[in-house]
Structure 1
Amino acid sequence: MTSTNTATRRARPQAGPVWMIMALACTSQFMVILDASIVNVALPSIRRELGFTATGLPWVVNGYLLTFAGFMLLGGRAADLFGHRRMLTAGLFLFSASSLAGGLATAPEVLVAARVAQGMGAAMLAPATLAVINTCFTEQSARARAFGAWSASGGVGGMAGAVVGGAMTTGLSWRWVFLINVPIGAVLIAVAMMSLAGTRTGRRESLDLTGAVTGTAGLAALIYGVMQSADHSWTSVLVVGPAVAGLLLLVVFTVVEARFATQPMIPLRLFRTRGVAVGNGMLLLFGGIAIAMWYFTSLFLQNVLGYSALQAGLGQTPAAVTFVVIARLAAALLPRTGVRPLVLAGCSCFLAGFGWLAQAHADSGYVTSVLGPTLLIAVGIGLTFPTLMAAATADVPEGDAGTVGGLANTASQVGGSVGLAVLTSAAGTRAAMEVGGSSPAAALAAGYDLVFLMAAGLGLAVAVVSLLLPRHRRG
């Protein structure tokens, strides 16, 4: 064995059995995504007990999402520079400690600060789990299976939020929505210390502080501006100001990375790999598709069909199970078929499923108008999400695994944040046009139907972008 191969093997962060590493990565991802949605059901109880104002309450959710998406690029780069195990355990510790602070909070400011810290912990965790998969599972079929399991765990985490949050808030207290993370985090820290070797990439590099500041601040400002569109018009200074400032900072970030940074936070050479460039473009579009499926379908069930939050979560459970099964199947097929066939098949499901779902109205039945199309859409998500993640993180140097993982996660999160704002605005505008000529439920249904048609359009856009991938492209 050559010295190069020996060094490469030593650099891989593996010290325990692969099943333990896979369980660590999947459980960490499940917990991170779960906490983006589990709080929603508990918000009324939180407001009553802590005395939140109507404008302050959304920041229990937004504080987490903003720092999660905004700091992920930095978290990915830090994982490459300081070691995947170190960043994974540090992220778990910060996530668990801030969960404890949130669960014990006695004032609104304390809970929001805890959620901001939670988001930072999540931004350290998510790219580190992808980096661990990239470096520990190097054989093609094993890597594809690992991505399938990782993607499925995140999808289940997103779907389980309403059910788990509703059960905990009703049976125990809203505080357990946060406190449950503490024992789970402690176990995961122990598993990480046992299963991952404490190696580094071997490169003696420093963190690109200028890039870190401009990139992180740019993303955070852009996402903050987009979030403000939920309460203000798109022409409001509260929306345009932060969004434009964020875009300018991202332009500065790009110039710094291309011209001035000797050790850039995001080496632009990574985008010469077509899978990284095209894969991240597709993940941006996919974020809006996922929001349309899980978030707006839940709203349709509650606001149009009259389901409770818990009933809506249970109503989406068949789709979540379908997603898990299909994601594992896609992982098995990916080494043989490559990326493009699976993406095109998934996009066909999006077009058919969202087109069907867009026909639902206030008098629709669950089985014929919601269950059928959401199962079809879940097949599409199961085929595309792990495939896109595999495409966006493949064929990069091992020392860039955390950076590329952070980039892929950021693309998906930013796509979801922008998609949520745009689709919410479209739904509200369409519903307002129907008010007066129909019942409130029918007006809302018209707004959601427009969202589903727009999601079908995003599916078509993903299919078109996928044609930029080489025909032989594998995950």
Structure 2
Amino acid sequence: MTGTPAFPGSAAASRRTLVPLALAQFICSFAGSNMNVMINDISEDLNTTVKGVQTTITLFLLIMAILMIPGSKLTDRWGRKRCFLAGLILYGAGALLSTFSPGLGVLILGNSVLEGVGTALLIPPVYILATLAFSDLPSRARAFGVISGLGGIGAAAGPLIGGLITTAISWRAAFVFQTMVVVTIIFLSRRIVDPVAPDPTRPFDTAGAVLSAVGMFFVVFGILQASNDLVLTAVLVAIGAAFLVWFLLHIRSRERAGKEPLLSTGLFRNRTSNLGLVTQNIQWLLLMGTSFVVAVFLQTVRGYNAIETGVIFTAATLGVLFSSLAAERLARRHSQKALILTGFIMTLAGIVLLLALVKVSPGAVAFAPGLLLIGLGLGVMLTPSVNIVQSSFPERLQGEISGLSRSVSNLGSSFGTAIAGTILVSGLATGNRSYVLAMTALAVLALIGLAAATRLPAVTGRR
């Protein structure tokens, strides 16, 4: 069934719009995970450490998260297509700069800062334009399924593609690949039409943007310091929490004064959406956390190179691909709640397998069953979680909820790399024990996600 497009033109035009949007989500998710298999190569080439590369990856994910909400608000002032293209240009410039990095500082500037800011500008328009392009729920759900599915595939396939490129050419060539994909997306985006004219007079809550960004930065940065100083971690997280409380008080004050805040407090009054956001956050936390922990363990403990590590992740990639392709059929037969519950159960089972089999087998095959289950589980629940959140609000709030949704997801990605990665590289344990501690932490978080999913309403998935 073809949905009715909200854009002027045919349904085929809407589908052509979907291609660059989905590719954009793919490459941004790819960027978050492909560096995991390059850790040894980058460390040796740039004379840095695993911790240095972890910081680069986490900062990229964090900058995405802290700027996603401001980025979504700027779409109203600057226009959705303009923000999308500006984000792509910034992202491409960052990837190109990363290609020629002489040291860790330039890599952080290109990969973490420029690519992070570019992603924060381009991702909110992806979901807003998809919402506007497909006006009826079935076609919109399919569009979200394609976009979220490619996002999951990008994150899961990042280690495989990155490993292939790194081994065949160099880790720097992986950034050339990103640049080429971005150029392709810009070319495919030339026919995208923004159906809503930008409003340059739309107010922008600068103070709110600064408060929210500073708060989230200190929380994640504090977690990264846990392996060095727990007291410093507590202080930084407390500072971050204080800024976030200040942010909430600020936006409530603006609303009482009749001014437009960065984020409407009304977005948090929808119980279904709140639970959906929790599941989104934990899903991406598990995906990125597992990817980082397994990749680092294989390279630093088992001695695998980039391509060997990437090939092992094929199981997760196939799992996400298979379940994403089946997403539409599953959504017709099962409720969104059932799919999310099933996804968490499968993911938790996969983590348990990764913990159990690593002790009994030194071979790479021990990782395949667990990664396959995690890929299947995450692929099953990524789309329902996005659909639950986006469909909980009317079109006039799609810009805000899109920014909040993407920010929460990317914050989950940064938490995954920060929390699990910090446990892995800390002095708490070494070798297999550090791996077990990190994966156990992910299992506990998966249980929290499962608990949140049980509280979702039994919304039918039949359209």
- Quote the residue 1:189 is aligned against: 186
Tell me whether 1:456 sits opposite 2:443 in the alignment: yes
Distance 1:46 1:374 in 2: 25
Partner of 1:17, secondary structure, is helix
Tell me whether 1:247 sits opposite 2:241 in the alignment: yes
| TM-score (normalizing by structure 2) | 0.87
Distance 1:385 1:462 in 2: 13
Distance 2:12 2:200 in 1: 24
Deviations 1:188-239 (A, max 9, x none): 223223123363366952111111111122222222222222x41322x2x2
- Quote the residue 2:18 is aligned against: 22
Answer yes or no: is the 8 Å Cα contact 1:14–1:196 preserved in 2: no
Partner of 1:395, secondary structure, is coil
Deviation at 1:422, TM superposition (A): 3.2
Distance 1:32 1:244 in 2: 30
- Quote the residue 1:164 is aligned against: 161
Answer yes or no: is the 8 Å Cα contact 2:20–2:188 preserved in 1: yes
Deviation at 1:148, TM superposition (A): 2.1
Distance 1:429 1:43 in 2: 16
- The equivalent position to 1:39 in structure 2, one of 35, 38, 45, is 35
Compare 195-204 and 96-105 and name the one that shifted more.
195-204
Deviations 1:421-454 (A, max 9, x none): 333455567962xxxxxxxxxx632332344344
Answer yes or no: is the 8 Å Cα contact 1:427–1:451 preserved in 2: yes
State, as a whole percentage, how many aligned pairs show the same letter. Answer: 25
Distance 1:77 1:204 in 2: 12
Unaligned runs of 5+ in 1: 1-7, 433-442
Structure 1 residues 404 and 326, CA, compared in 2 at 3 Å: closer, same or farther?
same
Unaligned runs of 5+ in 2: none
Deviation at 1:150, TM superposition (A): 1.5
Partner of 1:286, secondary structure, is helix
- Quote the residue 1:102 is aligned against: 98
- The equivalent position to 2:399 in structure 1, one of 402, 405, 410, is 402
Compare 266-275 and 163-172 and name the one that shifted more.
163-172
1:131-170 maps to which residues of 2 (within 5 A)?
131-170=128-167
Deviation at 1:460, TM superposition (A): 2.8
- The equivalent position to 1:376 in structure 2, one of 373, 376, 385, is 373
Partner of 2:171, secondary structure, is coil
Cα RMSD (Å): 3.1
Tell me whether 1:326 sits opposite 2:320 in the alignment: no
| TM-score (normalizing by structure 1) | 0.85
Structure 1 residues 233 and 108, CA, compared in 2 at 3 Å: closer, same or farther?
closer
Structure 1 residues 419 and 234, CA, compared in 2 at 3 Å: closer, same or farther?
farther
- Quote the residue 1:280 is aligned against: 277
Answer yes or no: is the 8 Å Cα contact 1:73–1:216 preserved in 2: no
Deviation at 1:252, TM superposition (A): 1.0
Deviations 1:113-134 (A, max 9, x none): 2221111001112222122222
Paired amino acid for 1:119: G
Deviations 1:72-119 (A, max 9, x none): 111122224432211111100111122223323445543332221111
Distance 2:366 2:41 in 1: 32
- Quote the residue 2:385 is aligned against: 388
Structure 1 residues 61 and 377, CA, compared in 2 at 3 Å: closer, same or farther?
closer
1:69-108 maps to which residues of 2 (within 5 A)?
69-106=65-102, 108=104
Deviations 1:364-423 (A, max 9, x none): 165763222322222211111221121122132323323212212221222233343333
Partner of 2:356, secondary structure, is coil
Aligned residues: 455
Compare 303-312 and 241-250 and name the one that shifted more.
303-312
Distance 2:274 2:370 in 1: 31
- Quote the residue 1:471 is aligned against: 458
Structure 1 residues 91 and 140, CA, compared in 2 at 3 Å: closer, same or farther?
same
- Quote the residue 1:294 is aligned against: 291
